[in-house]
Structure 1
Amino acid sequence: MAEADGATAAPRPDPDPDGVAWIEPPLCTKCGVLVRIYPTNYDRWVSLAMVELPAKDVPEAFRWRLARVPGRSPIPTDIVAVRVRGIDPLPSEPVVPAHRMMCIPEWGEP
């Protein structure tokens, strides 16, 4: 399931609790563009694009949403990526595309 969804990214390393360095999003090793890496709701990690797009512009296989994990406090503590399945979103509804949809080397090399 993870391979079919493209959820094959490596998890981000935990930041050093004593570190004061700014934490930047990682770069894609294939195209060099910034990506967002989030855990999925089934214990894998996925690379997502930095922008949201209308659902009509993103093929079904690449649609993700970011969901807040409910906790004991009213302040959300974690966010997970959830594949958009079952009920199709409205064409204008924003979704987060998987980075592999936008990664130019993924389109195939001549």
Structure 2
Amino acid sequence: MALADGATAAPRPQPDSDDVTWIEPPLCPECGISVRIYPTNYDRWVSLAMVELPAKDVPEPFRWRLTRLPDPSPISTDIAAVRVRGIDPLPGDPVVPAHRMMCVPEWGEP
């Protein structure tokens, strides 16, 4: 399921009190663009784009939403990425695309 969804990102490292680099968003190793890395609702991590787009502009396999988790959650975070499935969103509904949809290796190189 994780491979099909593209949820293969490594988890963010634990923050160190003396190092503030963890505050900055990580960069994609292939294209160098900033990404957001979130845990999924099934114990994997996914790289997401930094922007939300209307659902009509994002192909179905790349649609994600960020959702708050209930208090007694098994995942140690308050926000998780959830794939948009089942009921299709309206064309104008905002979704967060997976970064792999927007990733262009060697971005900016001629």
TM over 0.5, yes or no?
yes
Match of 1:47 in 2: 47
Q: Give how far 1:20 is off.
A: 5.7
Which whole-Å CA distance do the structure 2 matches of 1:25 and 1:70 have between them? 25
Which whole-Å CA distance do the structure 2 matches of 1:65 and 1:15 have between them? 25
Q: Provide the secondary structure at the position in 1 that maps to 2:82.
A: strand
How many aligned residue pairs are there?
A: 100
- The within-5 A match list for 1:73-92 is 78-92=78-92
Match of 2:108 in 1: none
Query: Normalised by the size of structure 2, how large is the TM-score?
Result: 0.87
Query: Normalised by the size of structure 1, how large is the TM-score?
Result: 0.87
What runs of 5+ residues in structure 1 fail to find an aligned partner?
A: 106-110
Which whole-Å CA distance do the structure 2 matches of 1:20 and 1:14 have between them? 11
What runs of 5+ residues in structure 2 fail to find an aligned partner?
A: 106-110
Q: Provide the secondary structure at the position in 2 that maps to 1:104.
A: coil
1:5 paired with 2:5, answer yes
Which whole-Å CA distance do the structure 1 matches of 2:95 and 2:20 have between them? 31
1:61 paired with 2:64, answer no
Q: Give how far 1:19 is off.
A: 2.6
Identical aligned residues as a percent? 80
Match of 1:35 in 2: 35
Which whole-Å CA distance do the structure 1 matches of 2:2 and 2:71 have between them? 25
Match of 1:108 in 2: none
Match of 1:21 in 2: 20
Q: Which amino acid aligns with 1:37?
A: I
Which whole-Å CA distance do the structure 2 matches of 1:67 and 1:12 have between them? 18
Which whole-Å CA distance do the structure 2 matches of 1:102 and 1:11 have between them? 20
Structure 1 residue ranges (4+ consecutive) displaced by more than 6 angstroms after TM superposition: none
Q: Which amino acid aligns with 1:4?
A: A
